[in-house]
């Protein structure tokens, strides 16, 4: 009752399960991604996850839904720029990559990597990735066109792939992440002028 009066909202069980699924997938990989592991990470009793995700495929879908939801929230914050000037987009890109690869969010990048592997044999996941990536390409193209810089689908796709690669580089490849100056330099190179 106090929560309702104070205006804070407890996350629902499904939300807790989705967040736990992302964490388990990132930390344990596909082999350790089990209903039991998600039950434990969510702080729920054995078998609780089965109600929301009776199959492994459904549990993977919940993890992907959570990854995409949080990614979209982050992208909306950074790319909601009034004018898509080169400098503004570079700043948005650097801010987006920095936030996405922070300690608080890096599990999403790692979980997405594992989900992409699972998408090779799961049509539902593959279709969801295709829709999400197409949406980001369309967003980028529309932003550049609004700035008076018409951009082809190929250029917008290259922009999307470069951002994705940069986030992977910062979280999974190499022993030392790129410096802030290096991320800025890369952003300046990949943002169309």
In the chain, what are the domains?
2-190 (1.10.357.10)
∠ Cα 61 67 70 (to 5°): 135
Q: Is 65 exposed, middle or buried (0-12, 13-18, 19+ CB in 10 A)?
A: middle
Tally Cβ neighbours within 10 Å of residue 137.
20
| Mean pLDDT score, 10-17 | 86
In this prediction, residue 136 carries a pLDDT of 87
Read off the pLDDT of each residue in 148-167 and give the average, rounded to a whole number: 90
Euclidean distance between CA atoms 5 and 181, whole angstroms: 46
Residue 164 pLDDT > 50: yes
């Amino acid at each position: 009752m106090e929560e309702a009066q104070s205006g804070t909202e407890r996350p629902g069980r499904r939300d807790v399960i989705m967040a736990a699924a992302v964490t388990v997938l990132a930390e344990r990989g596909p082999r350790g991604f089990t209903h039991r592991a998600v039950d434990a990470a969510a702080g729920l009793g054995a078998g609780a996850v089965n109600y929301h995700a009776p199959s492994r495929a459904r549990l993977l879908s919940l993890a992907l839904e959570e990854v995409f939801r949080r990614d979209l929230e982050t992208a909306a914050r950074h790319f909601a720029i009034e004018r898509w000037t080169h400098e503004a987009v570079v700043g948005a890109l650097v801010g987006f990559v920095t936030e996405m690869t922070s300690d608080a969010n890096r599990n999403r990048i790692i979980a997405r990597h594992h989900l992409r592997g699972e998408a090779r044999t799961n049509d539902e996941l593959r279709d969801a990735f295709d829709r999400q990536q197409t949406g980001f390409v369309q967003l980028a193209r529309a932003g550049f066109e609004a700035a008076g810089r018409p951009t082809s689908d190929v250029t917008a796709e290259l922009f999307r792939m470069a951002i994705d690669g940069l986030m992977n580089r910062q979280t999974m490849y190499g022993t030392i992440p790129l410096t802030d100056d290096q991320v800025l330099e890369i952003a300046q190179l990949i943002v169309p002028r």
